[in-house]
Structures are given as C-alpha cells and as structure tokens.
C-alpha cells in the first residue's frame, strides 16, 4: 500500500468508526486465508466475530492470536462444516441461544479443485467444490436469514464470496468457476427474496496470495497481495455496505 492510499484507507476507517456502532459479523471458513485475516481485522476495529471452521486447531490458534492482542472479548468460534446442513442448523441454534444473531454474514468458506481438465477431475473432488462453495453457502442462508429477519427487524447484510472466475471462465478450474458462477446467480436471486432493509451481494475478493491461489498459480502466487493487506480494504467495504447495494456484484 502506498502512502496516499494508506491515508485514504485510514480516513475511511475513521469515518466508519464514527458512523457505525459495533457490528456482529459471522464469517465461515474463518480458520485460515481470507476468513482469518478478515476476522482479525474486524476484531481490531472493535467488532464481534462469530466464526466457523472444519479445523479445531485453526480455531484454537485464531483464538490465541486474538487473546494475545487483547481482542478476544465476546467472539464465538465453532468447529462446524458448512457442507453439513445439520451442522449449520446447530450453529444457528447456538447463535440464537447466545443472542448473538449477526448483523453481517460473510459466506467465505470455499475450496478449489486441483488444476485439471473437467473430464479428468475426480468425481469426489468436483462434489467437494460444489458442496463447500454452493451448498455450504446455501445452508448458511437457509438457517440464518430467518434469524436475521426476526432479530434485526428485517435488516442485515449478506456477503457471498464470489471470484473473478465467477464472472469469466478459465481452463483447468471449471468446477471452481461453475461454483462461483452459481454464487453470482444465487446472490442475485436471493436479493429479490429478502425484505427491504437487507442486502445480499456477491463479492469478488480480487487476487490474493492464499493456499487456493498457490494451487493454481504455484510459486507466482507470492507476487500478489497478502490476506492481511486485503483485509484492510475488504473490512471497510463490507462494513459500509447498505440496503442500496442489494443484488450487486462487487469487487474489493
């Protein structure tokens, strides 16, 4: 980040602090990558994070990192697999019992296939991409939208993580592209179903140096921005979304 853009970012954060009270944000796939970086950034800004991950070890290390930085208060981290409708239902019940219904949801959990032509992608690998990226997002929508409508008086923001490959095609990652095109369509459709006062958006995070990018780009993934620098911009964008953004396809 250059000096000028850094100043702009700082002004945006200060404006956000003045305009908004603390928010409760649910982030799926919070154990690593973009989800973890976003959780840490939001916690630093004084917001409450509810996070889920398939890895208890990743959740433990995230909790330790927040504790060491004195940002651990009131966060809730749960070992849950979004691919399982039952697991997401249990998460929703836990959140409701703790009176911690989110103001914002970030459907971030995702995976990608190993580079391969579609006819060479193993069936199990294709199904994992679809189950995580599409069904996982849908499971969260199914169980949390009714909670948000009831608890937040029809208000709330839902961010479904898309991709540049959800708006264009690329060789060797057809399953991933298909899943993210599905997220774009799903988001636009659900945006027409939620009550006025809510917003559902598809968000392309851009190109970031994560494990998923490394699986596609190899060592050249290191040439791209880190999740931490991405989270500075993404947190500001997400926290400033409003009902006017409903149905939009946005990019960090």
Angle at which helix 227-239 crosses helix 3-19, to 10 degrees, equals: 40
Written as six digits, the tokens of 67 are 């504790």
Question: Cα dihedral sign for 49, 52, 58, 64?
Answer: positive
| Of 230, 39, 249, residue with least CA distance to 164 | 249
User: What's the CA gap between 192 and 164, in Å, rounded?
Assistant: 23
Three-class secondary structure of residue 125 per DSSP: helix
Tell me if residue 176 is catalytic.
yes
Cα–Cα distance between 159 and 168 in angstroms, integer?
Answer: 20
Active-site entry in 77, 165, 176, 181 = 176
How many other CB atoms are there within 10 angstroms of residue 64's CB atom?
A: 11
d(CA 25, CA 91): 14
**Concatenated DSSP letters of 169-181:** --TT-HHHHHHHH
* CA–CA dist 207, 230 (Å, integer): 9
Distances (CA, A) of 102 to 10, 98, 138, 155, 171: 25, 11, 16, 10, 37
Residues known to be catalytic:
176
């Amino acid at each position: 980040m250059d000096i000028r853009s850094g100043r702009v970012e700082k002004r945006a954060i200060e404006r956000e602090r003045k305009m908004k009270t603390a928010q409760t944000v649910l982030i799926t796939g919070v154990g690593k990558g973009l989800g973890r970086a976003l959780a840490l950034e939001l916690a630093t800004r004084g917001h409450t994070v509810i996070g889920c991950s398939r890895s208890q070890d990743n959740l433990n290390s995230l909790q330790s990192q927040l504790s060491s930085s004195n940002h651990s208060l009131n966060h809730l981290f749960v070992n849950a697999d979004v691919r399982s409708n039952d697991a997401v239902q249990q998460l929703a019940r836990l959140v409701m019992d703790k009176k911690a219904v989110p103001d914002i949801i970030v459907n971030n959990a995702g995976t990608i296939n190993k580079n391969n032509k579609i006819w060479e992608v193993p069936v199990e690998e294709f199904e994992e991409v679809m189950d995580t990226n599409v069904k996982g997002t849908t499971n969260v929508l199914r169980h949390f939208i009714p909670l948000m409508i009831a608890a937040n008086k029809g208000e709330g923001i839902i961010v479904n993580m898309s991709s540049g490959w959800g708006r264009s095609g690329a060789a060797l990652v057809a399953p991933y592209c298909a899943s993210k095109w599905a997220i774009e369509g799903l988001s636009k459709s659900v945006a027409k179903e939620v009550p006025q006062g809510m917003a559902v958006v598809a968000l392309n995070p851009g190109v970031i140096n994560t494990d998923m990018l490394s699986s596609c780009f190899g060592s050249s993934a290191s040439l791209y921005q880190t999740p931490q620098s991405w989270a500075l911009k993404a947190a500001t964008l997400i926290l400033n979304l409003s009902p006017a953004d409903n149905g939009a396809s946005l990019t960090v």
